[in-house]
């Protein structure tokens, strides 16, 4: 399977998600490289959107722009979902591996990237009254993304629609738990660090 | 070689000499303004100290405090609560008259028939001059009455005591007073929760005026909904926050302030129905500092002929100047020890373009004069208020040259350019002022201009595209058969 064929398969996936993801899973038509490129591209899109979205659509504080933090905050929800979904489906007889979930999400990002990019260009040529049209256009990309991602997850986990919805609901709960644990961990570490530093200060003042 | 070593040595020694700070003359000022993002930016001083009114101005009369200040076009009225006096000054800041004992038209001291005592002011807190009828109203707080004098002869015209038909629990201790052109009196009673007292021309009670909505706590609301009638009786009642000061603009609208922590708004422009109709279209809300270290407590408000109002903060001593739309013009002054700084500010008033601030602790009043940039900003605001766009645009352009942080000038100038159909320049300024609505309008014009200019090009492009599509379709169908 050459790289060019794999690239062609990416365009096939967005129009035929069930077939496409099936072939990705069982016939090795997917590529980790392409998936990661798309993922990074989506993060870059986040940065571009922050900087180049038209002034009429959104005023962003460019003077305190931090592209790295935008990159991370754009991609973080998706990573969180991937981990949350994987941790749920392992308990629910899902056949998909962590890598496969990752690739499904990344391939599904294609319409989102394309529509956001075109929308970004358009946003510089519209006036306030035409924002509704732009939002409609962006909504197409969003719905497309959700549809493909849903189909993809159904295919790789070999789920019915109902089971998939169930796992998605549980995934959202799992995501909340993950965030909670993260916060707990960081506050605890923070407390630990401050405790040790206070202790050191005390000791230094004694001797 | 040696020379080089000496040179380096001298350089190193020179580095040890501490730098000498250089202080300019008026650099003690801390003027600032909030921008679109709500962050405070330095601003060029809009006002500077012009003169001080203190015991030297008053001659032999001792000042106990200064609690309120009111100005007409040519005279200044200062209220001294502690020594129960009202001082009248002319526009050159010379003392004209100091009122304590009230006299009648024949220059005889007025004697009360019942108590057989002289009529003397008793801790007055507010003063107002009605231009139409030329009457001086003194809110004689300690005496629980309003004394009306002639504004020129200072003789007694009438005394307004607690109206017989007054209802409610508010005690009639008038603290601040304004009178509208049709002689209705609006009287503020400190910590009265029923609103501003409105009295008719003859001194009879009309109504309580002004709605001051309290903040609603969601948890309290929840428990109050659950509670039974008996439980509700035991709960703490939420009273409407009280107004603490008033002013009136040339249209007869009442401006008011409150420093009650429970209040939803802090500055009010009340319509005849008593509803707050203050315009707040600025970058930030009309509430003083955005993220205050010390919560602002507005103690007085002064509004001028073109809707520019200054509010005085008791806690920090700052003066916030807003234009009619609620855009910040400048923030200046503070509590401190330098001349012009306040300790316990009590009142503020516009004296034409000058601002007068009274201070209770320092027993003086400061007269602030607009600087060149402040004057231009005020003139711009006036022209804008009166609808003279061209002139406003000219003033704004000059202000920007002096104060590039005065963001509303960019918007004003942009709007002006938009009206002249100079779209590209308008876009530039509106973008600097972060105004999306008007930027969109300017961009619309600009886009139409471009489309019209290159219309043939667009048209040809469109035709070519359509032709190519049709051609390929035809070719496709031929191939398919």
For B447, nearest residue in chain A (alpha carbons):
A125
Taking contacts as CB-CB distances below 8 angstroms, the residues of chain A near B437 are 128
Residue A186 lies in domain: 3-206
pLDDT digits (tens, 9 = 90+) for A12-26: 999 999 999 999 999
Taking contacts as CB-CB distances below 8 angstroms, the residues of chain A near B36 are 59
Q: ipTM for the complex?
A: 0.83
* B37 CB within 8 Å of a chain A CB: yes
| B178 is a domain residue | yes
Residue B476 lies in domain: 390-481
Q: How confident is the model at residue A80 (pLDDT cuts 50, 70, 90)?
A: very high
Mean pLDDT of B128-134: 90
Mean pLDDT of B132-158: 91
Our count of domains for chain A comes to 1
Question: The domain that contains B68 carries what CATH number?
Answer: 2.120.10.30
Mean pLDDT of B61-80: 90
Stretch (H or E) spanning A137: helix A131-157
CB contact under 8 A, B434 and A59: yes
Do the beta carbons of residue B423 and residue B446 sit within 8 Å? Answer: yes
Stretch (H or E) spanning B356: strand B354-359
Distances (CA, A) of A157 to A31, A53, A103, A153, B26: 18, 37, 13, 6, 73
CB contact under 8 A, B441 and A56: no
**Separation of alpha carbons A181 and A195, rounded Å:** 21
**Gap from A131 CA to chain B (nearest CA, Å):** 11
Last residue of a domain, one of B324, B340, B370: B370
Q: What is the pLDDT of residue B71?
A: 92
pLDDT of B28 strictly over 80: no
Question: The domain that contains B439 carries what CATH number?
Answer: 1.25.40
Region of poorest pLDDT, from A81-95, A115-129, B15-29, B392-406: B15-29
* B443 CB within 8 Å of a chain A CB: yes
CB contact under 8 A, A128 and B436: yes
| B21 is a domain residue | no
Taking contacts as CB-CB distances below 8 angstroms, the residues of chain A near B439 are 55-56
Q: What is the pLDDT of residue B338?
A: 84
- Interface residue ranges in chain A relative to chain B, Cβ cutoff 8 Å: 55-56, 59, 61, 125, 127-129
**Are residues B326 and B410 located together in one domain of the fold?**
no
pLDDT of A75 strictly over 90: yes
**Gap from A204 CA to chain B (nearest CA, Å):** 32
Mean pLDDT of B206-231: 83
pLDDT digits (tens, 9 = 90+) for A136-184: 999 999 999 999 999 999 999 999 999 999 999 999 999 999 999 999 9
Q: What is the pLDDT of residue A4?
A: 86
**Are residues B356 and B440 located together in one domain of the fold?**
no
Mean pLDDT of A189-194: 96
Taking contacts as CB-CB distances below 8 angstroms, the residues of chain B near A124 are none
| B414 is a domain residue | yes
pLDDT of B166 strictly over 90: no
Edge-to-edge strand list for the sheet holding B267-270: B245-248, B254-257, B267-270
Which of B37, B431, B444 has the CB atom closest to A127's CB atom? B444
Q: What is the pLDDT of residue B228?
A: 82
**Separation of alpha carbons B382 and B307, rounded Å:** 8
pLDDT digits (tens, 9 = 90+) for A121-145: 999 999 999 999 999 999 999 999 9
CB contact under 8 A, A56 and B436: yes
Mean pLDDT of B193-200: 89
Averaged pLDDT score across all residues of chain B: 89
Among B276, B137, B142, B118, CA closest to B196: B276
**Are residues B282 and B418 located together in one domain of the fold?**
no
For A63, nearest residue in chain B (alpha carbons):
B37
Interface test with B, best of A54, A57, A61, A128 (most B CBs within 10 A): A128
CB contact under 8 A, A55 and B37: no
| B1 is a domain residue | no
pLDDT of B23 strictly over 70: no
**Are residues B130 and B208 located together in one domain of the fold?**
yes
Q: What is the pLDDT of residue B22?
A: 59
Region of poorest pLDDT, from A44-58, B118-132, B167-181, B214-228: B214-228
Q: How confident is the model at residue B221 (pLDDT cuts 50, 70, 90)?
A: confident
Do the beta carbons of residue B449 and residue B427 sit within 8 Å? Answer: no
For A131, nearest residue in chain B (alpha carbons):
B440
pLDDT digits (tens, 9 = 90+) for B252-295: 899 999 988 888 889 999 998 889 999 998 889 898 888 888 88
Mean pLDDT of A113-125: 95
Q: How confident is the model at residue A108 (pLDDT cuts 50, 70, 90)?
A: very high
* B447 CB within 8 Å of a chain A CB: yes
**Are residues B85 and B192 located together in one domain of the fold?**
yes
Region of poorest pLDDT, from A185-199, B65-79, B108-122, B160-174: B108-122
Share of chain B above pLDDT 90, in %: 49
Mean pLDDT of B50-75: 89
Interface test with A, best of B38, B439, B447 (most A CBs within 10 A): B439
Our count of domains for chain B comes to 2
- Tokens at B30, concatenated: 């801390």
CB contact under 8 A, B431 and A55: yes
**Separation of alpha carbons B7 and A173, rounded Å:** 72
For B439, nearest residue in chain A (alpha carbons):
A56
Q: What is the pLDDT of residue B25?
A: 54
B56 conformational bin, left if phi > 0, alpha if psi -120 to 50, beta if neither: alpha
pLDDT of B360 strictly over 80: yes
Mean pLDDT of B291-311: 91
* B440 CB within 8 Å of a chain A CB: yes
| B136 is a domain residue | yes
Do the beta carbons of residue B48 and residue B339 sit within 8 Å? Answer: no
pLDDT digits (tens, 9 = 90+) for B404-446: 889 999 999 999 999 999 999 999 999 999 999 999 999 999 9
Q: Is B104 exposed, middle or buried (0-12, 13-18, 19+ CB in 10 A)?
A: middle
Per the model's pLDDT, the better-predicted residue between B481 and B166 turns out to be B166
CB contact under 8 A, B440 and A61: no
| B379 is a domain residue | no
Last residue of a domain, one of B370, B405, B420: B370
Taking contacts as CB-CB distances below 8 angstroms, the residues of chain A near B410 are none
Q: How confident is the model at residue B169 (pLDDT cuts 50, 70, 90)?
A: confident
Q: What is the pLDDT of residue B191?
A: 81
Which of B36, B37, B443 has the CB atom closest to A56's CB atom? B443
């Amino acid at each position: 399977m050459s790289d060019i064929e794999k690239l062609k398969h990416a365009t096939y996936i967005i129009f035929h998600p069930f077939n496409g993801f099936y072939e990705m899973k069982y016939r090795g038509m997917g590529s980790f490289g392409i998936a990661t490129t798309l993922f990074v591209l989506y993060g870059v899109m986040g940065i571009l959107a922050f900087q180049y979205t038209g002034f009429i659509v959104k005023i962003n504080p460019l003077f305190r722009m931090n592209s790295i933090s935008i990159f991370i905050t754009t991609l973080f929800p998706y990573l969180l979902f991937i981990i949350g979904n994987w941790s749920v489906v392992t308990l629910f007889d899902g056949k998909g591996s962590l890598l496969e979930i990752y690739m499904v999400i990344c391939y599904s990002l294609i319409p989102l990237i394309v529509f956001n990019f075109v929308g970004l260009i358009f946003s510089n040529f519209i006036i306030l009254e035409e924002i509704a049209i732009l939002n409609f256009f962006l909504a197409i990309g969003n719905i497309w993304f959700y549809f493909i991602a849903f189909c993809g997850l159904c295919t790789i986990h070999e789920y019915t629609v109902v089971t998939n919805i169930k796992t998605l609901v549980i995934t959202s709960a799992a995501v909340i738990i993950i965030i909670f644990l993260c916060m707990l961990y960081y506050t605890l570490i923070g407390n630990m660090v401050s405790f040790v530093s206070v202790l050191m200060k005390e000791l230094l003042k004694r001797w | 070689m040696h020379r080089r070593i000496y040179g380096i040595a001298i350089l190193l020694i020179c580095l040890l000499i501490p730098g000498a700070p250089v202080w300019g003359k008026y650099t003690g000022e801390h003027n600032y303004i909030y921008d679109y993002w709500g962050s405070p930016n330095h601003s060029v001083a809009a006002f500077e100290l012009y003169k001080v009114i203190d015991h030297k101005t008053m001659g032999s009369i001792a000042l106990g405090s200064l609690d309120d200040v009111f100005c007409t076009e040519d005279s200044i009225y200062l209220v001294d609560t502690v020594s129960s006096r009202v001082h009248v000054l002319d526009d050159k800041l010379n003392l004209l008259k100091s009122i304590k004992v009230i006299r009648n038209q024949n220059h005889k001291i007025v004697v009360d028939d019942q108590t057989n005592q002289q009529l003397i002011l008793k801790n007055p807190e507010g003063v107002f001059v009605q231009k139409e009828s030329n009457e001086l109203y003194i809110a004689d707080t300690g005496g629980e009455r309003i004394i009306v004098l002639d504004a020129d002869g200072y003789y007694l015209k009438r005394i307004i005591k607690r109206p017989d038909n007054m209802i409610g629990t508010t005690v009639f201790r008038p603290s601040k007073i304004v009178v509208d052109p049709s002689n209705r009196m609006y009287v503020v009673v400190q910590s009265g929760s029923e609103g501003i007292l409105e009295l008719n021309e003859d001194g009879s009670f009309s109504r309580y005026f002004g709605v001051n909505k309290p903040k609603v706590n969601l948890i309290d609301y929840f428990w109050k909904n659950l509670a039974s009638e008996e439980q509700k009786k035991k709960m703490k009642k939420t009273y409407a926050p009280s107004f603490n000061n008033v002013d009136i603009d040339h249209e007869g609208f009442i401006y008011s302030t409150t420093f009650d922590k429970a209040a939803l708004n802090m500055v009010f422009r009340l319509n005849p129905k008593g509803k707050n109709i203050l315009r707040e279209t600025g970058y930030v809300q009309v509430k003083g500092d955005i993220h205050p270290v010390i919560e602002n407590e507005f103690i007085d408000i002064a509004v001028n002929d073109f809707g520019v109002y200054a509010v005085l903060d008791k806690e920090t001593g700052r003066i916030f100047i807003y234009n009619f739309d609620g855009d910040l013009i400048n923030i200046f002054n503070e509590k401190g020890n330098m001349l012009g700084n306040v300790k316990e500010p009590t009142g503020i008033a516009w004296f034409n373009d000058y601002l007068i601030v009274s201070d209770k602790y320092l027993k003086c009043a400061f007269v602030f004069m607009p600087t060149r940039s402040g004057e231009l900003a005020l003139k711009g605001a006036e022209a804008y208020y009166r609808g003279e766009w061209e002139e406003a645009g000219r003033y704004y352009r000059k202000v920007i040259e002096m104060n590039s942080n005065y963001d509303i000038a960019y918007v004003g100038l942009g709007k002006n350019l938009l009206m002249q159909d100079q779209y590209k320049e308008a876009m530039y300024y509106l973008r600097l002022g972060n105004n999306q609505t008007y930027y969109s309008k300017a961009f619309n014009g600009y886009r139409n201009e471009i489309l019209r200019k290159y219309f043939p090009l667009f048209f040809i492009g469109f035709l070519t595209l359509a032709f190519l599509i049709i051609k390929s379709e035809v070719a496709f169908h031929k191939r398919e058969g």
